[in-house]
Amino acid sequence: MTVLQEMNMQPYTSIAHLHARTGLPKATLVRILQTLEGLGYVENDPRLGGYQVSALVGSLSSGFHKEPMVVEAGRPWAVAITRKYQWPVSISLLDRDAVVVRFSTVPDSSMSPFHKTVNMRLALLTRGMGLAYLAFTPKEEFDLIIEILRRSQDPEDSLAHNPARLNQLIEKVRQRGYASRVRHVEPRNSNTIAVPIMNDAGRVVASLGLTYFTAAFSEAEACERYVAVLKSTSAEITRDLTRIRNSFI
């Protein structure tokens, strides 16, 4: 249980990290992890360099944060997109005033602009992944987030002080059903197209994004190629998320 508790604190963890945190011998940790993996409580993802808890851990404790179930539901779909189109795909979750990448296929992509994106924080008002989440939040949550962003000193949050421009941008994302990175932010040699991932109640729980080099094609061409793919994938993730959650009822 100590191992599971420590793992539940991190999106991914290694044997070396667990050894340092728990004091257990590495050989013992390997056996524990193999047992937990066999029982379905732990998953080993060598591409991302470590282990993570599965949604099944939710059956052990009501304190388990269930939103990562969307990562479990979305992982195979994200990998499938990258295998077909080569570009890296990420899944991000809200973390107070930003979204944080919780899964990425960067290790599977031969054309990724980044070496690593897991745990990367992305602004809500300028990044495709952030806008795709923010635009579809309920009004009460949206207003609270904007109030938090108004107190920020980060230049990427400055749009929170311009309600007219902000509302125009958010409405554009809602109408299109997807978002892309605002053009003036770095890096300019790449762009990300992102869509929301909903639960079965129609509430946004994550965002799904595909990143490409701008030298490959224009934003319009990228949207023509990949928006429909991302939207249909998001719908499949919603169905799988519902199935995973229902398995614990």
Could you identify the residue written with the tokens 């994550």? 206
Retrieve residue 225's tokens.
């190629």
128 and 43 in one domain? no
Whether 189 maps to a domain, the answer reads: yes
Query: Which contacts of 102-107 are long-range, i.e. CB under 8 A and separated by 24 or more positions?
Result: 102/11, 102/68, 102/71, 102/206, 103/48, 103/71, 103/74, 103/75, 103/78, 104/48, 104/78, 105/78, 105/79, 105/81, 107/47, 107/48
Q: How many domains does the chain have?
A: 2
Q: What is the pLDDT of residues 215-231, one digit of tens each?
A: 999 999 999 999 999 99
Whole-structure pTM value: 0.75
119 and 42 within one domain: no
Asked whether residue 182 carries a pLDDT value surpassing 50, the answer given is: yes
Q: Tokens in use for 68?
A: 């990562």
- Regarding whether 40 and 88 lie in a shared domain, the answer is no
CATH number at residue 111: 3.30.450.40
Question: What sign for the dihedral angle of Cα 192, 193, 199, 204?
Answer: positive
Whether 40 and 124 map to the same domain: the answer is: no
Residues whose CB falls within 8 Å of the CB of residue 176, separated by 6 or more in sequence, listed in order: 227
**8 A C-beta contact, residue 113 and residue 190:** yes
Q: Does the structure show a pLDDT above 50 at 67?
A: no
**Which residue's entry shows tokens 């963890």?**
13
Residues 47 and 128 in one domain: no
Compute the mean pLDDT over every residue in the chain, rounded to the nearest whole number.
Answer: 87
Domain co-membership, 135 together with 242: yes
Tell me, what's the pLDDT at 40? 74
Same domain, 53 and 95: no
Q: What is the pLDDT of residue 149?
A: 95
Q: What is the pLDDT of residues 86-115, one digit of tens each?
A: 999 999 999 889 999 999 999 888 887 777
In a domain, 132, yes or no: yes
- Domain range enclosing 96: 69-246
Dist CA 178 CA 174 (whole Å): 7
